[in-house]
């Protein structure tokens, strides 16, 4: 399949191809390259966890707290006379 043929596919057909490719990649995760910065972060997190120097949160707690971290906060305040 070439790029022109790909452009002519419907969104549903493109998603099926993406799912097939993703399934193939996940099936052989050892063949995927690991980014150096990501591996460094994973090791740092593991060290903090093993040293019990990291807070472990329940997934439901994370889902409840996350939205508030992204709410729009005013960048300035209006001074009252």
pLDDT in tens, 9-21: 999 999 999 999 9
Phi, psi torsion values for 24, nearest 5 degrees: -70, -45
Tell me the C-alpha distance between 22 and 80, whole Å. 56
- pTM higher than 0.75 for the full model? no
Give mean pLDDT, residues 45-56.
86
pLDDT of residue 32: 79
Q: Would you say 67 and 73 are in contact if contact means Cβ atoms under 8 Å apart?
A: no
């Amino acid at each position: 399949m070439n790029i022109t043929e790909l452009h002519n596919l419907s969104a549903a057909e493109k998603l099926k191809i993406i799912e097939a490719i993703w399934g193939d990649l996940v099936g052989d995760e050892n063949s995927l390259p690991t980014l150096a910065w990501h591996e460094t972060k994973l090791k740092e997190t593991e060290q903090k966890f093993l040293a019990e120097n990291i807070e472990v949160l329940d997934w439901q707690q994370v889902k409840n707290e996350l939205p508030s971290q992204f709410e729009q906060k005013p960048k300035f305040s209006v001074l009252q006379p």
